[in-house]
Amino acid sequence: MAYGASLKWILLAVLFLLTLVYELVRHVLLERQSLESTLPGLVFYGAILISLVLWAFSKIEKQEEKLREYSKELERHVEERTKELREAKNTSEFYLDLMSHDIANANTVVMGLLDTLLMDPEVKESQRETLVGAYTAAKRSTNIIKNVKKLQLIQSEEGITPEEKKLKEILQEAYGMVEASFPGRRIRLHCASPDVMLYVDDLIVDVFFNLLSNAVKYTPSHDVEIEVAVSDLGREWKISVIDRGVGVPDEVKNLVFKRFERLTMDVKGLGLGLHLVKTIVSRYGGRVWVEDRIKGDHRRGSVFNVTIPKEGA
Amino acid sequence: MYNILAVDDEPDILFLYKTIINLRGKYTLLDTASNGEEAVQKYKAYLSRKKVDLVIMDHRMPVMDGLKATRKILAMDREAKIKFVSADLRVKKAALEAGAVDFVEKPLLVKALIRNIEEVLNSTGDNNMP
């Protein structure tokens, strides 16, 4: 608006300048009048022109001054907002820290004591069910904290160094964690050719822990059969976790890896596990997707595929 | 019988260690400490009279943290076996660099912890497993 107003006055000044030139040409060149007789008219137009130009410049200067003030105010505002955001970030980190340390400690005690009771052969079967229920709830709370922490770690990129790791050892570690997470379930893991090296970091264990956990969670039977198949795709390894669980319907296949989506089945979760899997695998430059174990019949189990690029690929 | 020194500022966690360790019958919870400084003092006191086979060390504690305590204990006894336990994954690298034989993420799972204790103690080369 301010510059629009100044522009209006500048245009007026140009108009006067043109009029002045026209008058000069008309009087001196066309009507052959002497310059002396033309001079008062020229002075008149000239004076108006100069006044207009000066006025327009002062107007522009004032507008520039205002603009500078606006700019300073904007900078102050941005600075204040940045400070507020930094404070908000610190507060959120504080709560996350509190959650990951203090609540993790409390969960450790709850789960640990329940676990020791579950190991006691004198505990009755009816009591065992109650204990497993309490243990599962505490475990769920722990998993939420763990996943949130891992996502924060990935975002901060602290302490992550890729190195060569054996898939066999990664699977063993993940399997140990899964076995400990589901007391009372019989979980059998078959792996055809696990003897490959992956160029990854420690977070790879979480990928397979989440995939194997999901396979157990979504298998309604007490006994769980999980197969891991490895394929060489040239520049990358494809590792497939195959289960015989309730499967993933076609309409949600693309949604399961998204944040806060979860399958509307009888098993609860925060939907962070598969999102974490995708986030970690994407960092390695790999892909994740899910398909039916038996093509066209999702109810007979799923195949969760992960690709990991080979070193230097 | 293996002797374990458990270090954590949470009494509930120490109680859990006591329950787990005594459950197996293979180990004894020799003593506990509620901060790094106390752990160093206790380790020093045991050094001349009784062997501490394993120290389970927390990280975030008042007075002295787990990293510092790990370094001090290892400076006293290069053979010390320290199993580092923390909810903070970012200290894993520092803990292993400080000389811890192992890092376990909190929350702990009992079975995993027991298996882990056995692995660490078996790696000492001691064949006197009961």
Contact A109 B13 (CB under 8 A): yes
DSSP chain A: -HHHHHHHHHHHHHHHHHHHHHHHIIIIIIS---HHHHHHHHHHHHHHHHHHHHHHHHHHHHHHHHHHHHHHHHHHHHHHHHHHHHHHHHHHHHHHHHIIIIIHHHHHHHHHHHHHHHT-TTS-HHHHHHHHHHHHHHHHHHHHHHHHHHHHHHHHTTT---EEEEHHHHHHHHHHHHHHHSTT-EEEEEES----EEEE-TTHHHHHHHHHHHHHHT--SSEEEEEEEEEE-SSEEEEEEEE-SS---GGGTTTTTSTT----SSS---S-HHHHHHHHHHHTT--EEEEEEETTEEEEEEEEEEEEEPTT-
Position A109 pLDDT exceeds 70: yes
Tell me what pLDDT residue A26 has: 76
Using only C-alpha atoms, chain B has a radius of gyration, in whole angstroms, of 13
Type and span of the H or E element at B97: helix B92-98
Tell me what pLDDT residue B126 has: 43
Highest mean pLDDT among A82-91, A130-139, A148-157, A285-294: A285-294
**Count of domains forming chain B:** 1
Q: Residues of chain A with pLDDT > 70: what percent?
A: 89
pLDDT higher at A148 or A237: A237
Tell me what pLDDT residue A123 has: 85
Domain assignment present for residue B100? The answer is yes
Q: What is the pLDDT of residues A196-210, one digit of tens each?
A: 999 998 889 889 999
Contacting residues for A81 by C-beta, under 8 A, at least 6 apart: none
Burial A106-120 (b: 16+ CB within 10 A, else e): bbbbbbbbbbebbee
Domain assignment present for residue B130? The answer is no
Q: What is the pLDDT of residues B37-74, one digit of tens each?
A: 999 999 999 988 878 889 999 998 888 999 999 999 99
Contact A112 B20 (CB under 8 A): yes
Amino acid letter, residue A75:
E
Q: What is the mean pLDDT of residues B10-36?
A: 85
A160-309 CATH, one of 3.40.50.1980, 3.40.50.970, 3.40.309.10, 3.30.565.10:
3.30.565.10
* CA separation for the pair A170, A202 (Å, rounded): 9
Tell me what pLDDT residue A260 has: 56
Neighbours of B12 (CB within 10 A): 15
Query: Between vectors from CA A95 to CA A113 and to CA B14, what angle results, nearest 5°?
Result: 25
Write down the mean pLDDT value for chain A: 82
Residue that has been written with the tokens 């925060």 in this structure: A270
Residues of chain B positioned with their CB less than 8 A from the CB of A112: 16, 19-20, 108-110, 113
* CA separation for the pair B114, A7 (Å, rounded): 82
**Which tokens belong to B5?**
């020194």
Tell me what pLDDT residue A171 has: 93
Residue B107: pLDDT band (50, 70, 90) is confident
Highest mean pLDDT among A8-17, A21-30, A55-64, B93-102: B93-102
Contact A108 B88 (CB under 8 A): no
Residue B119 vs residues A111, A254, B122, B126: alpha-carbon distances, Å: 22, 41, 5, 12
Domain assignment present for residue B111? The answer is yes
Q: What is the pLDDT of residues A74-99, one digit of tens each?
A: 999 999 999 999 888 888 778 777 77
Tell me what pLDDT residue A177 has: 82
Position B125 pLDDT exceeds 50: no
Contact B92 A142 (CB under 8 A): no
Contact A105 B12 (CB under 8 A): yes
**Which tokens belong to A194?**
């696990």
**Closest-CA residue to A197 (of A227, A236, A167):** A167
What's the CATH code of the domain at B17?
A: 3.40.50.2300
Type and span of the H or E element at B28: strand B27-33
Residue A41: pLDDT band (50, 70, 90) is confident
Type and span of the H or E element at B29: strand B27-33
Measure in Å the smallest separation between the Cα of A283 and chain B Cα atoms. Answer: 18
Tell me what pLDDT residue A198 has: 92
Q: How many beta-carbon pairs below 8 A join chains A and B?
A: 72
Q: Name the residue of chain B whose CA is nearest to A103's CA.
A: B107
Residue B127: pLDDT band (50, 70, 90) is very low
* CA separation for the pair A278, A288 (Å, rounded): 6
* CA separation for the pair B45, A296 (Å, rounded): 68
User: Could you list the residue range(s) of the whole structural domain that residue B40 is in?
Assistant: 2-121
**Closest-CA residue to A198 (of A228, A159, A168):** A168
Residues of chain A positioned with their CB less than 8 A from the CB of B106: 104-105, 108
Domain assignment present for residue B129? The answer is no
Q: Name the residue of chain B whose CA is nearest to A183's CA.
A: B111
Tell me what pLDDT residue A52 has: 78
Q: What is the mean pLDDT of residues B83-95?
A: 86
Q: Name the residue of chain B whose CA is nearest to A101's CA.
A: B87
Tell me what pLDDT residue B116 has: 76
Tell me what pLDDT residue A268 has: 45
Q: Are strands B54-58 and B2-7 parallel, antiparallel or unpaired?
A: parallel
Measure in Å the smallest separation between the Cα of B13 and chain A Cα atoms. Answer: 6
pLDDT higher at A269 or A253: A253
User: Any CB–CB contact under 8 A between A132 and chain B?
Assistant: no
Q: Report the DSSP beta bridge partners of residue A164.
A: A199
Domain assignment present for residue B127? The answer is no
Domain assignment present for residue B56? The answer is yes
Three-state DSSP class for residue B23? helix
Tell me what pLDDT residue A4 has: 58
Three-state DSSP class for residue B44? helix
- Lowest-confidence range among A7-11, A86-90, A171-175, B84-88? A7-11
Q: Are strands B2-7 and A297-309 parallel, antiparallel or unpaired?
A: unpaired
* CA separation for the pair B94, A159 (Å, rounded): 10
Position A269 pLDDT exceeds 50: no
